[in-house]
Structure 1
Amino acid sequence: MAWEQELFGLLEDLEQQAEAAYDAERAAELADRSRAEYQQVTLASRLVASIGTELALEVRGVGTLAGSLERVADGWCLLHGRGQDWVVRLAAVLAVHAASDRSVPELAWPVTARLGLRSALRRLADLSARCVWHTVDGGRYEGVVTRVGSDFAEVRVGEAHRVVLLPFDALAAVQSRED
């Protein structure tokens, strides 16, 4: 019966080797799948998972903005910090600090997340809110948005109330300004 024990020992050893090879192959496959799936994750989906948390955004032409992330929508987000609100165009974000490790797929976003930058700016126009418009090159325009076009906003600035057209592509962020 010694030969049976040797045979069973050999078969058990082969089975353990096959199991280890399978586990190694499966681990590599899972890592590949994980990398492939992560390619679908967007900055916006990471930010949606961060709503309600304190974070910092480095914004082109503005610098670092810190506060509570209140809303994320199509191409923009709303950050509340130090008693004022910032509408930040996502294309102007250079870096995000302290975001959630999670991601929320677009299918799980609220319907309001489909509202574009124009909707947020139209809201400011409806309120006749005084704001500071920061451009990606560091420029600033303080005034009231009067109308919102397809790819620009019309802003009344200065005491002379001159009208300036600000293209969305040049916009980094809009900062609320109390009267």
Structure 2
Amino acid sequence: MGTDEHLLDLFDELEGRAETLYDADRAPEIADRSRAEYRAVTLASRLMASLGDPVVVRVVGVGPVAGTLERVGDGWFLLRGAAQDWAVPLVAVQSVTGSSARSVPEVAWPRVAALGLAAFLRRLAEEGHPCVLHLRDGGRHEGTLLRVGADFVELQEGADAARRCLVALVALAAAQVRRDDASGQPR
């Protein structure tokens, strides 16, 4: 082995050692950055990455609800169950099982995701679908949504038009809408 080859081998070995030391030096910094970035990940962004996936969500006042994640909006999501849809505000979620390990940052969400739960409930009211409003304290009201205000929904309970109930949106754990099995549409 000549002197040139010996020097090249020495430089390669020194370069390898320097690279190893650099990587070891940067490992804590990379770990810190990773933790700092993960702090910005929200439950909604994890759910957005889980669209189309089957999940089980434990909802305050309701318990576990299983279904396929259909939509994520501003502060809420829509879960399609076996015979009903569940619109759930994020504040009523206790846990989610079966979600993706990834997340989708809000800047990458479709424009329709900017709509809040009130927009979905207004559509239900316009179409006259009966529903069950589950409250965070375990109570429930069954009937037809009539109107949606700024911070409440108005529900007609039963056939009596005089029986109207106002439900504060902050008290809502989930809105359950049964689907017609044939059409897949809410009934």
TM-score, structure 1 length as denominator? 0.90
Alignment partners' CA distance in 1, 2:146 and 2:103? 36
Q: Tell me, which stretches of 5 or more residues in structure 2 are unaligned?
A: 180-186
Q: Give the C-alpha shift of residue 15 in structure 1.
A: 4.4
Cα 1:14/1:174, change in 2 over 3 Å: same
Partner of 2:133: 133
User: 1:19 offset after TM fit, Å?
Assistant: 2.4
Q: Report what 2:65 is aligned to.
A: 65
Match of 1:30 in 2: 30
Aligned residue number for residue 183 of structure 2: none
Mapped partners of 1:160, 1:114: distance in 2: 36
Once the two structures are TM-superposed, the CA of residue 26 in structure 1 deviates from its matched residue by: 1.6
Q: CA RMSD in A?
A: 2.2
SS in 2 for 1:26: helix
Partner of residue 112, structure 1:
112
Q: Does the Cα contact within 8 Å between 2:83 and 2:178 map onto a contact in 1?
A: no
Matched, 1:103 2:103: yes
* Counterpart position of 1:150: 150
Aligned to 1:166: 167
Aligned-partner Cα distance in 2 for 1:7–1:102: 47
Q: Counterpart amino acid of 1:164?
A: C
Q: What amino acid is aligned across from residue 109 of structure 1 in structure 2? A: W
One-letter amino acid matched to 1:26 = R
Describe the shift of the 1:110–1:6 C-alpha distance in structure 2 as closer, same or farther (beyond 3 A): closer
CA distance in 2, matches of 1:8, 1:71: 60
Encode CA deviations 1:111-166: one digit per residue, 9 max, x unaligned. 10000111001011001110010000100100111010001001111343411110
1:42 matched to which residue of 2?
42
Identify the range of structure 1 (66-75 vs 19-28) with the bigger mean alpha-carbon deviation: 19-28
CA distance in 2, matches of 1:111, 1:11: 55
Query: What amino acid is the match of 1:163?
Result: R
CA distance in 2, matches of 1:69, 1:8: 59
Percent identical among aligned pairs is 55
Alpha-carbon separation, structure 2, partners of 1:51 and 1:103: 11
Q: Deviations over 1:37-95 (max 9, x none)?
A: 11111100000000001011000000000010000000111101112111111110000
